[in-house]
Structure formats: structure tokens, C-alpha cells
Amino acid sequence: MSEINSNSPDVLPEVAEFLGSAHHALIGAQWKMASDGRMRDVCNPANGDVIATVAECGPAEVDAAVKAASASFKAKVWRGTSVSERTQVLLRFADLIERDAEMFAQIDVLDNGMPIWLARMIIASGIEGLRYAAMIAATLTDENFSAATSSADRRLHAYSATQPIGVAALIIPWNGPAASFLVKAAPALAAGCSCIVKPAELTPLSALLLGKLALEAGVPEGVLNIVTGDGKVVGNALVEHPLVDKVSFTGSTVIGKEIARRAADRLKRVTLELGGKSPTIVFDDADLELAIPGAAMAVFANSGQMCIAGSRLFVQRKVFDKVVAGIGQVAGSLKIGNGMDPNNQLGPVISAQQRDRIAAIVAEGQEQGAEIVCGGGSPSGNGFFVEPTVVVGADKDSSLIREEIFGPVIAAIPFDDLDDVIPQANDSRYGLAAGVFTTDVNKAHIVADELEAGNVWVNCYGVTHPMVPFGGFKESGWGREFGVDGLQSYRESKSVVVQLHGS
């Protein structure tokens, strides 16, 4: 068993002050307790300690938040401003987040367990995405057409325009709290929508701080609301509320399907970024000094708690043993412990329940013939830690191969050639991401074309950019985030045709 590096440097004084303060829902411009006064404990997964308590909201708070958003939308306090005005507010918002970036990183480490290096990286990425959304909104223009009919005496002028979709419910996951908030709120706000954010019940803290900074930046009252609480209660109430026009959800495929069913009753617009069981393919011509650590961290980063995690590793038979051994060495070298210690590379998983679920999947795989190359256990000590684990020989129908584990577990599978690996890589109900390691550029493009995945990385993994659309095929979701596509998903197109008179 691995040992935990349990060092925990002191947090910033302002983080300690924030954790000790009251954490209520943001409705309009007011911070409000749950109507029944209930609170929920928030725990640090590195040690199980309670670090804060947050309002446990219900349908009453959802209704108030949606009505506040709807009122702000009807009053045009945000969508009625010019694009340049909205851009300036959002850029101020980004500057304030950047000012407090270390505070956000530490809060997400304490709340989620991720290592501090990763928290710093993803909050920087979120800031970049916010600035991009603020700027790209100014480039979206209407289209004008000159139209004629078969009748010579009839002339038309037509144009198409886009407008904000309305009230958007943004339901974010726990595996990257602050950045996930910005991935959804940035394009929604840039598009002119009014929003209600529902943070994950396990990691609600950075969302509340973001709400505070949004008000400081000048986002008007009611345009950005935040309601904390249980997903089944708050999430369902948001999806079913008649004044919500759009739902954007990131999370499990099971819940995504349920949201789609509920939203269908009113034909609400829906964006779903769901689960994955992503393949990483290493060919025998790959630069193994790049491919081995790349394939390893494709699943071990954030303790495997990523929708894009490359948890199915396909390695060409000639280099299979070498790659598997190399990934095992990477796994064994990773320092596991409290994410606040910058020397640690892996933090805990989010909860005891998740730790036990991962262990059960690995044990089931062993019973079905899988062999553990390294890892497979939980380090001794406090916290919800899982050793980075490499398995071989897993049955193709086992949960190790079929199900999203959301933990630091990778199943290695040998293959012979291109015609052998593509069907195996595509043999999944998911299609979110894939990685390819090869020095043959022709092969790289062929494989990228054949893979059934919304995101394909060649000789790297998990690299995103706010300009590049992100989303999945098959049961990995509907729609795209990032880029122009992501912003346009919060707008509706309208066509206007005018009959002209006179010569």
C-alpha cells in the first residue's frame, strides 16, 4: 500500500475567513438562507473534516431565483445593454477572479481535493474562457438578405438576427468547481441571458465567491443567481420550472438522460456534457518518452475524476509490455496526499462512497480475470484516497472496460494494427474524447477521422482552449461548449421578412 504525504500548508487568511463566514444562496442581489433554515456540511475529502456549512435550499429558493432571473431578463437590465457594456463588465469580472486566483485555487483544493497545481491551472483556464466569451460576443453579427419573388412587382428585404434565449439554468459538476462555473456562466452572460447556477452539493464554495465577485464587477441584480442544495431537489426544480428556457448540465449520463426527459415536456433547450469512457491509443511508432507519461496522466490527473479520462489504453502489441510497465512506474512514482501540499501530485477522490465504488469495480474486474499491474488499493490514513491503478486482461464486457469509473484506474489492452484498434476504440456507448500517440502524421489524421469522439488529441491529452468547441458523440452529450458554438447555444435565431413598396 502507498503512504499518504499528509503535509497541509496553512491556507491564506482570506480563505480561512471565507470558510468561516455564512454561505447562503444568491437571489437577486441578496444572500438568503434556506426558507427552513437547513444547512449542509461541506467536507474536505483529504481528511473528512467539515470545512464549511452551506444553505440547503429547496423549491422555494429555486422559484425565487428563477423569478429574479426572469424579472431581470424582462426588464432588459442586462440583455438591453450594448455588447460593449456587457464586455466591460465581464472583463472586470475576469480581472477580479484573477486578483483572487490563489484564493479560488485553495478553496477548490479544500472542497474538491485536487492538487494545488491543477487547481491553479484550471482557474487560469476559466479566466481565459471568460475573457474569450466577453470578446467573442462582439463579433456575432446579424445577416441581411435582398430577396425577390417570382412576381416582378414584389420586393422583399430580409434579415436574420439572434437574441438571448432567456433564463438559463446552469448545473455544474464537482470535479472542477470554479472552472466549470465559468465554462457555463461566461457564454450565457456574454450572450445576454439571465442565469441561475446550481453548484454541486459536494463542492459549492467557489461558486458563492464567484457570485460575490460578479456583483462587484457590475453584473446587475437578478442576472446571476446561485442556489445551493441537493441535485434531486434543486436540480429537478430548475429543470421543471416553467420560466426556465434553457438547461445546461455537466455530469453523469444517467442524470443527463433524466434531465432531457423532464425538459422535453416543455421543449426547453438543453446542452448536456456527460460521461465518457475514452480510449487512448499508443502505436508502436510513438515517441514513448512522450506517450507513457501522457497516457498515464490522461487518467491519473485529478485522481481520474474527469469526464475525458483516458481509462481504456490500447497499445500496439510490439510495445505493449514496455508501455504498461512504464505507466506502472509513473503510477508508483506519484505522490499521493493533501492537495494543499505542492509536492503532492494526486489528491483524494471526492467521497468515501466514490472510493468504495472504485474499489468494488476493480475487485469485480479481478474476479472476471483482470490482473492488477500496480495499485488497486487505498493508502492507509484519513481521507478518501485511491492508489493509481493499472490493470491488464480485463474482460471486454466488464465494468473496467464499459463503465465510467471516475477514478485513477486504467485498463490496458493490446492491439495488432489500425484495422484492429479502431473498432475496439469505438466499441462504447460513450464518445467524448480520445488520445492518439504516433509519429506518423498520416496515421494520426486517419485515426482522428475514424474515432467516434467529439474531442481527439494527438501526442497530447486533455488540452482545451476557449476557441475550440468541446462536447461529445453518442451518450456523451448534446451540443457543444466553448467557442462560437458554445455562445450561440444561449441565443435563438429570428428571421424577419419585410415587403417593400415603391420603385
Per the annotation, the verdict on 307 as an active-site residue is yes
Of 43, 57, 307, 374, the catalytic one is: 307
Closest CA to 476 of 459, 456, 460, 452: 452
Q: Please identify which of the residues 201, 273, 404, 475 carries the catalytic annotation.
A: 273
Distances (CA, A) of 445 to 107, 282, 450, 458, 460: 41, 14, 9, 9, 14
Sign of CA pseudo-dihedral 195, 199, 201, 204:
negative
CA distances from 48 to 41, 63, 118, 313, 382 (A): 11, 33, 21, 32, 7
Torsion angles phi and psi, residue 39, rounded to 5 = -130, 155
Query: How many whole angstroms separate alpha carbon 147 and alpha carbon 100?
Result: 53
Per the CB < 8 A criterion, the answer to whether 81 and 218 are in contact is no
Q: Residue 218: left (phi > 0), alpha (psi -120 to 50), or beta?
A: left
Q: Which residues are CB-neighbours of 53 under 8 A, at least 6 positions away?
A: 23, 39, 40, 41, 42
Backbone angles phi, psi at 241, to 5 degrees: -70, 130
Between strands 477-478 and 269-273, the pairing is antiparallel
Contact 283, 443 (CB under 8 A): yes
Instruction: Report the catalytic residues.
Output: 273, 307
